[in-house]
Structure 1
C-alpha cells in the first residue's frame, strides 16, 4: 500500500507539472487546465483516501473519542502534575 501511494504521488506530481507546462509555456491552456483539474481530482478522491486509510487502518477510534473514561484519565493526569510556579505573582 505504501509503495502504491508513493508511486501514485510521483505520477500525480508529474502530471501536475506537465499541466503547468502546457498552460504557461506552450499556450495550450485548455489541455493544461484539463491536466491540472484531473490531477487535483485524483489527489482529492484517490490519493488522499488511500493515504488516510493507510495511516488509520490499525488505530482504535475509541482512543481518540472523549468519553467518561478518557475524561477521568485526563483529570487524574492533571492532578498528578505539580503546579507551575508563576514568577509574576511572587
Structure 2
C-alpha cells in the first residue's frame, strides 16, 4: 500500500511537471489529470493508510477523555 501511494504521488507530480514544462497541445490535460490523480487517488489512499488501525473514540472530546486530560494536566502542575 505504501508503495502504491508513493507511485500515485510521483506519477501525479510527474504529470503536472510534464504538463507545465512541455509545450504540446495536451499539456493542460496533463496538468488536470495530475491534479485529479493527486486529490482523488493519492490523498484518499494516504488518509486511509494512516487511519486504518486507529480508533476514532481516542480523538473524540467526551467526558472520559476530558477527565484524562485534566488528570494529566494536574500531574504536570504538581511536578
CA distance in 2 between partners of 1:9 and 1:37 (Å): 14
Number of residue-to-residue matches in the alignment? 78
Q: Determine which structure has the larger helix proportion and give its number.
A: 2
State the partner residue of 2:18: 18
Unaligned runs of 5+ in 2: none
CA shift digits 1:32-65 (9 cap, x unpaired): 1111011101111111100000000000000000
State the partner residue of 1:64: 59
CA distance in 2 between partners of 1:78 and 1:14 (Å): 47
TM-score norm. by structure 1 comes to 0.78
Tell me how large the CA RMSD over aligned residues is. 1.4
Whether 2:28 is the aligned partner of 1:41: answer no
List, as ranges, runs of 4+ consecutive aligned residues in structure 1 with deviation greater than 2 Å.
none
* Mapped contact 2:8–2:42 kept (Cα < 8 A): yes
CA shift digits 1:1-39 (9 cap, x unpaired): 0111111122112111110112xxx3x3x5111110111
SS at match of 2:54: coil
Whether 2:2 is the aligned partner of 1:7: answer no
TM-score norm. by structure 2 comes to 0.88
SS at match of 1:82: helix
* Mapped contact 2:5–2:46 kept (Cα < 8 A): yes
> Between Structure 1 and Structure 2, whose CA radius of gyration is higher?
1
